[in-house]
Structure formats: structure tokens, C-alpha cells
Amino acid sequence: MAGAVHINVGSLVWLEDPEVAWIDGEVIEVDGNNAKISCSSGKTVVANVANLYPQDTEASPCGVDDMTKLAYLHEPGVLQNLRSRYDMNEIYTYTGNILIAVNPFRRLPHLYDSHMMEQYKGATFGELSPHPFAVADAAYRLMTHEGKSQSILVSGESGAGKTESTKMLMRYLAYMGGTSAAEGRTVEQQVLEDVERYKVANPRTFHYLNQSNCIELDSMNDAEEYLATRRAMEVVGISPIEQDAIFRVVASVLHLGNIEFTKGKESDSSMPKDEKSLFHLRTAAELLMCDVKALEDSLCKRVIVTRDETITKSLDPNAATLTRDALAKVVYSRLFDWIVNKINCSIGQDPNSKCLIGVLDIYGFESFKTNSFEQFCINLTNEKLQQHFNQHVFKMEQEEYTKEEINWSYIEFIDNQDVLDLIEKVTYQTELFLDKNKDYVVAEHQALLCASKCSFVSGLFPPSPEESSKSSKFSSIGSRFKQQLQSLLETLSSTEPHYIRCIKPNNLLKPSIFENTNVLQQLRCGGVLEAIRISCAGYPTRRTFDEFVDRFGLLSPDVLDGSCDEVTASKRLLEKVGLQGYQIGKTKVFLRAGQMAELDARRTEVLGRAAAVIQRKVRSYMARRSFIALRRSTIKMQALWRGRTARKLYESMRREAAAIKIQKHVRRHIAVNAYKKMLSAAMALQAGLRGMASRNELRFRRQTKAAIIIQAQCRKYLASLHYKRLKKAAISTQCAYRVRMAKKELRKLKLAARETGALQAAKNKLEKQVEELTWRLQLEKRMRADVEEAKAQETAKLQAALQDLQLQVKESKALLLKEREAAKKLSEQAPVIKEVPVVDSAVVEKLTSENEKLKKLSTMESEDQILRQQSLLNSPVKRMSEHLAIPAAPKILENGHHETESVNAKNELQSTPPTNKMLTESESKLRRSQLDKQHENVDALIKCVQQNIGFSHGKPVAAFSIYKCLLYWKSFEAERTSVFDRLIQMFGEAIENEESNESLAYWLSNTSTLLFLLQKSLKPAGSAGATPQRKKPPPAVSLFGRMTQGFRSSPSSANLSVSLDVVRQVEAKYPALLFKQQLTAYVEKIYGIIRDNLKKDLTSLLSLCIQAPRTSRGSMMRASGRSFGHNTPSSHWQSIIDSLNGLLKLFQDNFVPPVLIQKTFTQIFSFINVQLFNSLLLRRECCSFGNGEYVKAGLAELELWCCQAKEEYAGASWDELKHIRQAVGFLVLSVQQLYRICTLYWDDKYGTSSVSPSVISSMRVLMTEDSTNPASNAFLLDDNSSIPFSVDDISNSLNEKDFSDVKPAEELLENPAFHFLQD
């Protein structure tokens, strides 16, 4: 088979190994006819060159589906190909039109479903993957189109999967014929009942079943198989009564096998051994419905009929055992014949049909330690079939050569007719050989079973005439077997044969185990290697012209120049290399054995020389590049050192000049200080002397004045003392009665005063509740987009809470009225002392009126908020600003502030004492003018920032101006203000219906920058991190009050500018915090729109980028010679790069924060990865080498773009393409994804692959272990459209110091009201 091969040092070869049949290795030394080989197992072996077989270095690790495509058609190549395909669950392989099936010992339901049958229906043989359906379809098409009978021969040893293959063939033929199996129901209880009915239990307890260890299979469910058998019987027309009888007979055979015998009471007699044997005897008789005693006698005795009398002879235990086995054998044989006849009748073959398809399921060649009569018959059949198989293979070879028009007359064919003659002529004398050749029924057994009460059993043993009984008693199984075999061969000769060879990969009957020696023995016995020998006798290596030129064109590149076709190029190439004995067909080049290895050896030499040239060039290039880099570094180091020396000299000169200047100023400072000290001492001395004289004069004047005052006061005191004594005596009498009455009235008035205080506390509490309710309503409205389903419930809760508050107010009002009435009654009964007014009733009335106004105001605000919320719920979503949760603001006046502010101002005005009322009215007028002015300022700010006012030092001017204004106006500390609502409305109008990324990028830059400034400035009120501040007056509630405090604290009323830091922390109130959340939502919204716009643009381009143009390899070589370069990416990839560059430039022009740019391109690259990778997994035409090179070239462009964009903007975008980047290298994919690509991959250029068989085998084992996890079976990727950043990410990406040089908008600086922006 090997032929002459050319072996050199470094050649990869196969050599025989006693343990694994064949082992691969590398030749490390050649000495004449001997070669030293380093094996892959680690050992070194010396072998004869003639016993070595070349290894195909470019063979796919996944194997080929047709072994005629192998470069080297020999035993180790065939064995390795089968093993490679078996490791990746490809159990079917062609050898021409012969199908080899390796038993996987596991269920593979996806290979045999109706969808798979539909795929093979009408498909050309060899177009799809090897499969029994393809063989059955080919046979069916030949029968229907050519009208010739077909036969399918399925062979293999026990456990090789012949029966399963036959089932698949019959199933497909039934499918093609329009017959489908009826579905039944699975009832586990039925299995248990039948087991109990037939008194069968563990199969290991039965003698006929426990002779081997193969009792259970991991992938087989006996209960399901039993029910499937029941359903199959129903399909072929076996009634339930007949089914029950069949299983009764089978169970009786099992029980017969467990009957053991021992010596009886008489000599040479026998009887059941023990109670267990008696139990099985009675059970067998019960199942066969015959007499127990008659069954025992038929086993232990034999009746001999002579001419004169009938003699009953007892049998010894050994003879009784043989009689038992003979009875079990004949019962089972008759049952088998009955089932076969029943099925044939059920199938109902048309007797008038001119053609048929026959499926033959037969044992393969068997060779055991003990070979008996059965092996003799089986091996005879196999040799006969092998002869037929060899003739068919040789015939196919002749047809191939004839079709290609090449000379084949000298090819010799090795026949096995001598072996057949030897088997048929020689007489075998072995133990029990003749007994097994006999075919008769013991008369006692015939009489016993014929008299059975079971009609089914008695029907199996009908009474026979005397003459037919005698003739059958001495019939030979061998002669009848030979007649049937001859009839079979005649039938096969009249049909077109198809072959399926089943292989058992291991004797353990377990999956994922491939035993080389065992498989090789079956290949030899099954005739597969014989077919290969027939092929090797002619031209085993065949290559199409384009494949031959593609592989060996580099041996003579000048042959490929010009415009010659591939046939001419192949001829010239063969002439150049000087091969002899090859043949040129019509479509292929035919090579003799060993010539492929010689061409590969020459090709390896050419590639080695080319590799040396490439290495020399690369090393030269690397050395030159290293020299240039070293020279450049040296020049740079010299420049740096000279610069450093110059800087040190300059620094020394500067220090000397600075020292002189410092000395001058220090001396001047010392002289000035000495003069000032002398001047200060002189002036202090003069002031002291003058002060002493003045104090003496002042002391004298004070003493004189004090004496005069003492005299006057003494005289006044004496007169006043006399008057007071007289007045006290008069008043004491008048007040005695008044005191007693006043005390009584005082107690009543004190009680009323306490009630008024309680009313004031209730009022304050109600105010807080109203404010809290308002806040909750605003918060609820803001969150309505997220909790749309709970909106009605929350509204009902708020209404109920409002009703409760109103009810409490009414109850308080009623209680107050009752208390007033009670106080009025008491006041009418008691006398009123007008001279001592203790309680001011005006104050009480004022508090009462304020309380009533507050109740009305809270009711109006609650109703207004509920109406606004309902209107928002009922209105359609039209504007962008309505997508975000904007809380319902209180009623806004023309000056931009709330109605509550004016109410508070009025209340303050009413509560002002009369002495300060005039001052309060003037302040109120000042407040109104300031509110109007503030309203104008807000309008001016909104009008300015609505336009694109550009950037300053890389920062958006609009965002900086807004922040500075809000900070100066102290809007963040206001509890109620409309500025934030107007800004949010402005943002919504700016991006409403906006599809241009240019405008969206501008507003993304402004909103994100403003969000950063808010994040750095705002902190919740009362937070733990607040810095202690000096005690200040109570803060004003309204925005106007805070602005007034800012004006009053300024040094001059003419200059209102305040020194502000760029970013300053303030205690934010709820409106400011709500504005920050709304602004965050706008940033995320604008970001998502820009990202989705780019995804939309890339989707159409990506669908075009996944498929590369497929060009003929030969035409490419003729057009441009031998080129190993990659294909240039098409305009689709360039369009993607242009889109990315356009968006990056847009972001850079608008100074979008780098973190947002990174997140955008990271998600875009993730989207590209998902689209390309999912297309790769879903479309087989995409899993080609050419398409892989095309996508790889495009990914190289994307990598170049990431490098040019730098990490500041690209970030980790390149890492997001890890799945599609590594799809060829298989580095980061899941087991399911790897296995999927392995099964789809095909090389449309060089016929190579990058996955080793060991990796595929390990991957298949992992996938099998993980098959129970539903989540792991998914192999597609999902696109992530979430927002990938947070406010903290934006905050960390910017720096506060970057805003120190930002200039506000020029339009605002021209307005005198915004002069504070200049600070």
C-alpha cells in the first residue's frame, strides 16, 4: 500500500506501534534504509524506511468527509481521519460511495429528525455531510429514475450500531414513501405491570442474559425502548393479544434457561435441582400454558418409538440441559420466524413491482477465542459478501478511470475466491459442530407445545404429517444456510449495491473512547482497507487541476505566468518536476502511490528556502531599525544634555541677579524701619505730656459739676418721698377690691391665651404638612415615567391624605369655635376690668385670619397640583421635555417667582408692628423692583445660552455662564424658584426633533459640563460633610430675600459684584437636587440618541462587511502571479472608518468629556463585535478562510483607527472586538461557540485549519458535560444598550482648575447686571 516514498530529515511520518497500531513522529536522522524517528509519545524508534508512511502536514485536524480526498490513502491516514471526525461527533465518513459509521454510544437526536430528512431529500450524493439518509436517498433516486433494484448492505460486529443504521434507513425510506410511525403514549406504570405479569426482574438473574457484562447502556432507557417496541408492534399490525403472547413466549424462554438439573433417584436420571429451578419450571409452564409435569418429562426423559414398542429413557443432567437449550432455541426460532412473516405481510410489498430496495443487516466477520459453527456460517457469508464488495469496488474504480479517459488495463485485482473454495470444501470436525448443524424438533416438545392452551403457542407448532416430520428431523442447517446464501447473492447481483460499514470504537461500549487497534481490525475485516488496497493498486491520489496547481504551483512559478489554462499548467508542472507514471484525466490529475509524498518533499524544500530568505530580510530589517532607533536616541540624549547644561548656567545667572536685588531691598527695608521707630518714639513722648495736662484739667471740672448735681438730687428726693407716701396710702385702699376681682379674670384670660398658642402651633404644623405634601407630589410626578403603573394608586393616597388634612382642619376649626363660644359665655358672666388689658384680641383675630388664609392656600395648591397631574397624564407625549420628569411648579408670577413669596411678603407686612410699618412698605417696593430685575436677568441668560456661543479654553461657555449665574443668584439654596424649570424647558426645546449629531454633541458637552459643576458644588442640606460656618442671620426663604442679603453684605451699594470661586460648595435645597437629576436624565438621553444614530448608520455597512468576494484561487494566481498578501478592504470598511472619524471629530470640536467619548466608542465597537460574530455563527458561508481574511483586514483597519484615536478617546474599544478578533484563534469563546465554529469552518483557499484534534476532543467532552445547563447552550451575543457611565465618571474625568480661565459669554458681559461674571 505504501509504495516508494521519499524520506528526509524533518519529514513527518507514521510508523507501526504495538500499543496504538500507528503512531506519528518526525524523522531526526536517516542512515541508508533505516531512519530514527522521534515519536509524539516521547520515545525514539529506529525503523526501516520501507515501513514508514508519509503524514499529510496540511491535513485538516477535523478530517475530511470523503477519504478519497486524502493526500495519502493508507492505513494510518484512514485511521487518523476517522478518529479526528469521531472526536468532533462526526460519526459518518465516505470512502467513495461507501459509508463508514462509527458508533458514538450516545443519542444524537439532531442528526435524525424530520428537518434533517428534509435536507437530504433530493440532494446530490456527496453534496451534504455523510449520512445514512444520503445512502438511502441515492438508492431511492436510482430506483425511481433508472428503474433498477437497489440493495443496501449494513455490516459490522455486535455493538457496532448495525441495527440503528438499519432503523435510520428504514425510517428514511418510509418518509420518502409517505409512511410515518404512529405516536403512542408513554406509560411507565405499564412497564412495571408487564414485568410483574411475566415474572421477570433483574436481567442479571437470567442465565441466557448474564453470559456477558453488557446489561445496561448509559444512553439507553430500557423502559422507553420497551414502550417504543410496543408502539412499533402496533404500527405493523400486531394486536395487543398477540403482543402479550409474544412477551409471554420470550419470558418463558428466559425462565427455561434458569432451570438446572441434578441426578435423580435412579441411575442416569435427572430432576430439577432445587426449589428455584422448580419455580422457573412452573413459571415457564404457566407462561406457555402447558402441563408442568409434561414439561418436566419432556426435559428429563426421551421417548424412543420402535416397531414393536415405545421405550421411555431417562436423561442424565447434561443431556437434560442440552434438551432444555434445544427447546428454548426452537421456541425462540419459531417466534422469530413468526414476527418476520408478520412484518413482511404488514409491509405489503406489491407483487407486481418491477424494482425494490433491499436492506441487509448482517454480522461482520467474527474471530473469537472459541469459534464454533455459528462463526463458520457468519464468516462464510462475509467472505461471499466481501467478494461481491471487492468486485463492486473494482467496478467503481474502472468507471472512474473510464470517465476520466485514462489507461487502466494493467491494474491487477486481488480476488478472495481461493478462500471461499477452501471454506466450502474442507470438512470441520469440532465439538458440537455436527449437533449444531442438525435442524429438527424433539417429538415430545412438538407434542407438548402443540397441545398448549395458548392459541398463539400452539400456532407456532402446528401438527405435521408423518413424512414431513421425518424429513425435517434429519435436515441440515448448513445445507439450508448455503441455499439461502446463494439466493441472497443472486438477489444482490441483480441490484445496485450500496455499502454501510459499522465500526465499534471500543469494547467498553462507552462514548468518547476510540481504540485504534480495535477499529483497525474491524476496518480490515470489513473490507474497507481492501477497498483502499484496490484504489492503491491504481492511482490512489487524485486532485482536481485547480487544487493541484494551487498546492504545487510554487515548485515552478514560471509555469503560472501567461494565460494558459489549469490543465496545461498542470501538465507543464508535472513535466518540470520529472514525475513518471502519472495520468492526466479530464478533470483530475491521477498520481501513483508515493508520488504525492515526493511532490510534498520538494514543496517543503522550496518553502524552507523561502522561509530562510524571509528570515534574512526580516533580521536585516530589524537590525537596521534597531540601529536607526539607537542613533535617534543618541542624538536626542545629546540634545537633552546640552539643554540641561545651558539651563543650569542660565539658572545660576538668575540666582546671582536675584541675590543682588534681594540684598538691595533688605538694606532699604532696615533703614526705613529704623527711621519709623525713631519717629514713633518722639511722637509718643509728646502725646504723653500733652495728655497728662489735659487730664488734670478735666478732673477738676468733673469734681465741681458733681457737687452741684448731688445737692440738686438731695432736694428732689426729699420732695418726692413725701408725695409718694401720700399717693401710696390713697391707692392701697382703692386696689384692695380690684386685686381680688382681677385675679379671677386673669385666670380666665390665661386659659384663653394658652388656647391661642395651641392654635398657632397647629397652624405651624399644618404649614409643614402642606410643604411636605407639595414636595411629595412633585417627587411623585418626577418619578411617573418609572412607576407609571402605580400612578393611580399614589394619586389616590395623596388625595386621601389631603382629605384627612382638610378633615383635621375642619375639626380644629370646629373645636376653635366651640372654645370661643365657651370663652364668650364666661366673659359675659364675669365682670370686665378695662383698666388692666392683659390679652390683645387683635392679635388673636389676626392669627385666626392667617390660619384661614393658609388653609385656603393649601387647598388651592393641592387642587391645582392634582389637576396639573391629570392633564399631564391625559396629554400625548409630543415634546422632548415631556420625556423627563419635570415637577409641577407652583403658580409663577410675571417676575419669575412664586405666588407664595408674595403671600409671605404680605403676611410679613401685616404682622409688622405699627412703628415699623412705614419701613416695611419701602422694603416691599424695593423687593418688587428687584424681582422684576431678576426676571429680566433670567430672560437674558436663557436668550443668550439658547444660541451656540462656542467654547473658551476647551470648555463650553453656556454651561459655565449658567453655573456662575445660578451660583451668584444663590438659586441652589432657594426652596422655591422657577429658574431650573425654565432651563430644563430650554434643554428640551433645543434637542426636540433634532437628528443632527452636530447639535446634539454641542448640547451633550454643555449638559455634561454643567452636571459636573453641579456634582462638585451641591451637597444636601444638613449633610454630615458640611463645613462649619460663622453664625449668620436666619436665611430668607425666597430667592429675592437671598439676593437682598447678598446686596446688603456688599461693601458698596454702587458695586454689586461678589468675589466668587470657580466651584464652591453650597447646601442645596430640593429644587436644585431635582434639577441635577433632570439634567442627568438629559445627558443620558442625548448620549443614547447619538449612539443609536451611529449604530443605525453602521448596521447596513456591517451586513456587507461579513461576506468577502469569493474568487477562484487559480484565476488570482494567473492574474497576479503567486501573491501571499491580504486582500485590500473594500469601501464598506472605509465607510465605517469614515463614520467613526466623523463622530470623533464632532466630539472633539464640541469638547465632549473624554469619558463620554470612550463609552460611546466602547459600545459602538461592542455593537460591531456582536453583529459580526452573530453573523459568523448563523451563516455557514461566512465561516470560510477567505471571509476570515477579509474580516481580519477590516479589523486591522479598526485597530489602526484605535491607535490613531489614542486611548484618551478610544479607551478599551479594541478589547470589545475580542470575540470576532479571536474567532479564528479560538481564545475567548465559550465551548458551545467553539464547537459551532469548528463544525461550520471550511477553508476555501488552502484547505488548512487551525484547531487540533485534541482541542476539539476536549471541547466536545466539556460541551457534553455542560449540556444540562440551558443557559450555556446559547452561542450568540447580545447587544448592550444601557447607559455605561455615571455622574461620578463624568465628575472624575474633569478638573475644577480647568475652568479658572474660562470666559463667560460676551453678550452677558455687555449687560451691567452680569458684571459679576468678570470676577
Q: Do strands 496-503 and 98-102 pair parallel, antiparallel, or not at all (unpaired)?
A: parallel
In sequence order, the 6+-apart residues with CB closer than 8 A to the CB of 590 are 404, 406, 538, 539, 541, 542, 582, 583, 584
Rounded to whole angstroms, the Cα distance separating 1102 from 1169 reads 10
In sequence order, the 6+-apart residues with CB closer than 8 A to the CB of 703 are none
Q: Is 1166 helix (H, G, I), strand (E, B) or coil?
A: helix
Of 313-317, 801-805, 926-930, the range with the highest mean pLDDT is: 313-317
pLDDT value at position 907? 44
Taking residues 936-964, what's their average pLDDT? 82
pLDDT value at position 592? 76
How many Cβ atoms sit within 10 Å of the Cβ of residue 218? Answer: 9
**Closest by CA position to 1299, among listed 1016, 876, 980:** 1016
**Closest by CA position to 161, among listed 499, 498, 504:** 504
User: Could you identify the residue written with the cell 454641542?
Assistant: 1002
pLDDT value at position 391? 74
Asked if residue 305 has pLDDT above 90, the reply is no
Predicted confidence band at 180 (pLDDT cuts at 50, 70, 90)? very low
pLDDT value at position 64? 87
Taking residues 1176-1189, what's their average pLDDT? 69
Q: What is the pLDDT of residues 1021-1066, one digit of tens each?
A: 554 444 334 334 444 333 334 433 433 333 333 332 333 456 778 8
Rounded to whole angstroms, the Cα distance separating 1214 from 1207 reads 10
Rounded to whole angstroms, the Cα distance separating 593 from 541 reads 7
Q: Are 1044 and 1036 in contact (CB under 8 A)?
A: yes
Q: Do strands 98-102 and 92-95 pair parallel, antiparallel, or not at all (unpaired)?
A: antiparallel
Taking residues 869-892, what's their average pLDDT? 38
Q: Do strands 44-48 and 12-17 pair parallel, antiparallel, or not at all (unpaired)?
A: unpaired
- The lowest-confidence range among 68-72, 176-180, 499-503 is 176-180
pLDDT value at position 184? 42
pLDDT value at position 382? 77
Name residue 39's beta-bridge partners: 25
What's the Cα-to-Cα distance from 914 to each of 837, 903, 909, 920, 921, rounded to whole Å? Answer: 19, 19, 10, 10, 11
Asked if residue 325 has pLDDT above 80, the reply is yes
Q: Are 274 and 317 in contact (CB under 8 A)?
A: no
Q: What is the pLDDT of residues 721-777, one digit of tens each?
A: 989 888 888 888 888 888 888 888 888 888 877 777 677 777 777 777 777 777 777
pLDDT value at position 909? 40
**Closest by CA position to 95, among listed 744, 512, 504, 535:** 535
Q: What is the pLDDT of residues 653-698, one digit of tens each?
A: 999 999 999 999 999 999 999 999 999 999 999 999 999 999 999 9
**Closest by CA position to 857, among listed 818, 914, 902, 819:** 902
Q: What is the pLDDT of residues 995-1011, one digit of tens each?
A: 778 888 888 888 888 88
Q: Are 199 and 251 in contact (CB under 8 A)?
A: yes
Of 1287 and 872, more confident: 1287
pLDDT above 70 as % of the chain: 71
Angle among Cα 728, 734, 737 to the nearest 5 degrees reads 130
Q: What is the pLDDT of residues 726-735, one digit of tens each?
A: 888 888 888 8
Of 48-57, 801-810, 1210-1219, the range with the highest mean pLDDT is: 48-57
Taking residues 980-991, what's their average pLDDT? 83
pLDDT value at position 1054? 32
pLDDT value at position 502? 92
pLDDT value at position 1061? 52
The grid coordinates listed for 713 are 438730687
Q: What is the pLDDT of residues 404-415, one digit of tens each?
A: 778 766 555 555
Q: Do strands 1066-1068 and 438-439 pair parallel, antiparallel, or not at all (unpaired)?
A: unpaired
Predicted confidence band at 1264 (pLDDT cuts at 50, 70, 90)? low
- When the pLDDT of each residue in the chain is averaged and rounded to a whole number, the result is 76
The grid coordinates listed for 559 are 509555469
Q: What is the pLDDT of residues 1194-1245, one digit of tens each?
A: 888 888 888 888 777 777 777 777 777 777 555 345 566 666 666 666 555 5
User: Could you identify the residue written with the cell 429528525?
Assistant: 113
Q: What is the pLDDT of residues 75-103, one digit of tens each?
A: 898 999 999 999 888 899 998 788 999 99
Of 430 and 650, more confident: 650
Indicate the burial class of 1039 (C-beta count within 10 angstroms; 0-12, 13-18, 19 or more).
buried
Asked if residue 559 has pLDDT above 60, the reply is yes
**Closest by CA position to 1229, among listed 1196, 1255, 1198:** 1255
Q: Are 500 and 526 in contact (CB under 8 A)?
A: no
Q: Are 504 and 156 in contact (CB under 8 A)?
A: yes
Predicted confidence band at 785 (pLDDT cuts at 50, 70, 90)? low
The grid coordinates listed for 218 are 448509559
Predicted confidence band at 1109 (pLDDT cuts at 50, 70, 90)? very low
Asked if residue 839 has pLDDT above 60, the reply is no
pLDDT value at position 1128? 47
pLDDT value at position 656? 93
pLDDT value at position 801? 80
